[in-house]
């Protein structure tokens, strides 16, 4: 076993701080389009001398609707008449009372709504961010071992690409990756719904080459599964135990589902926030071989070993 004690799995305060900084940088990067949109909004809105004149500027109609408090999702349910009513309410209740500062008021409200939208997208992006980080570690280990691979882009279903000369940010759009080791052909896919489990699984390793992945239908071949794992990228210690409980329940469900038809299936857990109590549970499962492998996403040496293990299965 890789670890001599449970404490080796625990996320340190420094690693937690580093994780928060990484997410903050990612959030700043994702906020750039909103900021640029706000600048354009401000530029065109300055043509208006009164709040009502904003409605005559076609270049800012969508930002104005956002400033009125309507999200992109909400707008799908609004008729053109409904949208006009929302804009009139914005002008009457907020822009006219702002006086000469009505343009700034509109832009601030646009950023407020967009900021809320960004917060929601960041919560959804935590899993994707963790997946991208893991893929980059995997590619680094493969590069060091001189391994070639095929990869499937997120927008593709059947067209696989060979390892590129320049793999810069390839992890941002990867849905699956395939390689060959001493045991045979292997394909690792992300976020697949496994029928026998009835749940979406984060990490799915199959005994097949990329041509037999068959747009993900490999999930129906129970004996082809080599390893199924849970990946939790949230760094906040306050949610660590809950993430582990969710992952542990999923892993138990996986083992129970595969017990009769594929008892040799291995399971793994990778988490960014691992606290003392859950580290004890994870370590015990590793000792009893209930869990095949576990690693802390904030500890590079553990993720390198995890990737080496994946590539050897």
N- to C-terminal Cα separation, the chain? 16
Average pLDDT score over residue span 105-126: 80
Domain boundaries of the chain, sorted by first residue: 6-24+125-312, 27-120
Percentages helix, strand, coil for the chain (3-state, rounded to 5) are 60, 15, 25
pLDDT 10s digits, 177-214? 999 999 999 999 999 999 999 999 999 999 999 999 99
| Domain covering 6-24+125-312 assigned CATH 3.40.91.10 in the classification | yes
pLDDT 10s digits, 260-310? 999 999 999 999 999 999 999 999 999 999 999 999 999 999 999 999 999
pLDDT for 123 equals: 67
pLDDT for 116 equals: 75
CATH of domain 27-120: 1.10.238.90
Q: Shortest CA distance to 244 belongs to which of 231, 255, 261?
A: 231
Q: Shortest CA distance to 130 belongs to which of 204, 27, 235, 2?
A: 235
């Amino acid at each position: 076993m890789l670890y001599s004690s449970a404490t080796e799995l625990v996320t340190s305060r420094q690693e937690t701080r580093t994780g928060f900084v990484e997410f903050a940088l990612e959030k700043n990067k994702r906020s750039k389009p909103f900021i640029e949109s706000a600048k354009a909004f401000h530029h065109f809105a300055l043509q208006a001398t009164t709040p009502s004149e904003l409605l005559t500027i076609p270049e800012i109609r969508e930002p104005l609707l956002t400033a009125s408090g309507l999200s992109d999702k909400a707008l799908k349910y609004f008729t053109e008449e409904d949208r006009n009513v929302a804009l009139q309410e914005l002008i009457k209740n907020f822009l006219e009372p702002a006086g000469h500062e009505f343009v700034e008021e509109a832009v601030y409200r646009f950023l407020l709504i967009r900021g809320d939208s960004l917060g929601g997208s960041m919560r959804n992006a935590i899993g994707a961010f963790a997946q991208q980080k893991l893929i980059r570690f995997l590619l680094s280990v493969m590069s060091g071992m001189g391994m070639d691979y095929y990869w499937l882009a997120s927008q593709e279903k059947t067209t696989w690409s060979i390892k590129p000369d320049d793999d810069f940010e390839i992890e941002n759009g990867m849905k699956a990756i395939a390689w060959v080791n001493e045991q045979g052909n292997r394909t690792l896919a992300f976020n697949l719904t496994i029928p026998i489990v009835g749940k979406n699984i984060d990490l799915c390793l199959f005994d097949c080459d990329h041509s037999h992945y068959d747009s993900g239908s490999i999930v129906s071949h129970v004996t082809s599964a080599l390893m199924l794992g849970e990946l939790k990228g949230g760094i906040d210690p306050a949610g660590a135990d809950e993430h582990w409980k969710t992952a542990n329940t999923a892993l138990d469900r996986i083992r129970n589902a595969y017990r009769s038809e594929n008892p040799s299936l291995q399971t793994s857990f990778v988490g960014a926030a691992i606290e003392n109590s859950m580290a004890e549970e994870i370590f015990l499962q590793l000792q009893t071989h209930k869990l095949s492998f576990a690693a802390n996403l904030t500890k590079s040496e553990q993720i390198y070993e995890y990737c080496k293990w994946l590539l050897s299965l």
